[in-house]
Amino acid sequence: MLFYTYPYLFFFLPISLFLFFYSEYLKIDRKLILIILSTFFYSLWNIYFLPVIIFSIFVNYLCYKILISVKENKKKILILGVALNVVILMIFKYADFIIQNINIIFLTEFSYLNLPFPLAISFFTFQSIAFLINVYDDEIVSVKVKDFFLFIIFFPQLIAGPIVKFNNMMPQFNYKKNYIFNKRNFIIGLIILLIGLVKKIYFSGTLSEFVDVGHENINDLKFISSWLLSLCFTFQFYFDFSGYVDMATGSALMFNVVLPQNFNSPLKAKSVIDFWQRWHITLTQFLNNYIYNPIIRSYKKVNFFKSLMAIFFVFLLAGIWHGPSWNFVLFGAFHGLGLIINHIYKKYINLNLSKYIFWFLTFNFVNLSFIFFRTKEIENILIILKKMFDISFLLNNNLLLDEYFISFSNNLNLIICFLLSFLICIFFRNSYGLLRNNINE
């Protein structure tokens, strides 16, 4: 079940809210109601995936129980717990990718496992790893199995994040006032959900049709149309992802639960560093807290070069986290190199240029990087990039031969959508920032 579908909006969400706020009449624990509802929500996607997430929940809870009960070898237990999470993720998400590359390199013919991706496995794996590390650091002490189950499977943030922390979420579930229907939170949550719905259905949906056609006819692209294709996907991707997170945020707020901000107008960023402080914020925090910082602490002597190499490695992992394909590895490498250049510039050059120049450079860097994200075949990535920088077509005044551009110019709805996308992303406040001060936590 997806947030923008009729069953969710008109049946599941209203029924869930009713059961949650009127559970006292049913004599059922509210947390148990949310667990049952979230399990049902997850099962509707594919019930055969349910054992995977339940197995992950109980394995991680067992690791937690062992971690708090022993005084020696805690680090080994933590490593084992993290490794178990990584193995589960590798088996279901990356096994065939690994087999494919082994077959290519060693000319073998190992059969693929053909395992489907369990819904949200990347997100609940990262949340579980962060939970175990927080337990190891004594930031989490007492956890009931019911609370941990709810923390992982709470349906608004389950599918596409944000990646949440136990100590941020559980106090909200334990706060008695949050069990009372809050009209203000409900209205604001509904507004955020509707904003996300418009982003997803109108903006992302309209742009995706144009993008899909372009990728089906890559060889027919010209200079202008290749840039249009890339820009349309950049806006489509932003509205799709941020729209879904808005719907998650709005849904959670109706239950009086405030999820952390995950987007802060990232296309306004004035550097690559700034972009990753605004885009998928909870992922950036996870990468920084649980991968980058431990790598830096592992060095006997830290210097600028080592920190840059750590950044590059972290973003290679961030790239492959998005999916089992080399285009995602290239996406991560591209941003890793961008961050390295950004840090070198800040340390050794740091010219006092206009903020508009910095924004223009950053926006185009991000736009180019999303070509790697959207285009799975490496050869097609190269074709698009070549056409984007082939100005000979423009100099020859052959614009009327660009059929893809003509189809764009003849579609008034698409033109309006594209222009509004640019205006909203660059000049408007984001939905979370617009409503943040009015949320009654």
Rounded to an integer, what distance in angstroms lies between the CA atom of residue 300 and that of residue 126?
27
Phi, psi of 38 (to 5 degrees): -65, -40
Which helix H or strand E contains 307, and what residues bound it? helix 304-322
Comparing C-alpha atoms, which of 16, 25, 24, 38 is closest to residue 179? Answer: 24
Distances (CA, A) of 116 to 39, 48, 109: 19, 10, 20
**120 SS3 class:** coil
Helix segments in 155-266, DSSP class H: 155-158, 166-174, 183-198, 205-216, 223-254
Which helix H or strand E contains 342, and what residues bound it? helix 326-348
Active-site residue set: 322
Rounded to an integer, what distance in angstroms lies between the CA atom of residue 123 and that of residue 153?
10
Tokens 């830096």 sit on residue: 296
Phi, psi of 46 (to 5 degrees): -165, 110
- DSSP assignment of 24-42, as one string? HHHT--HHHHHHHHHHHHH
In eight-state DSSP terms, residue 1 is: -
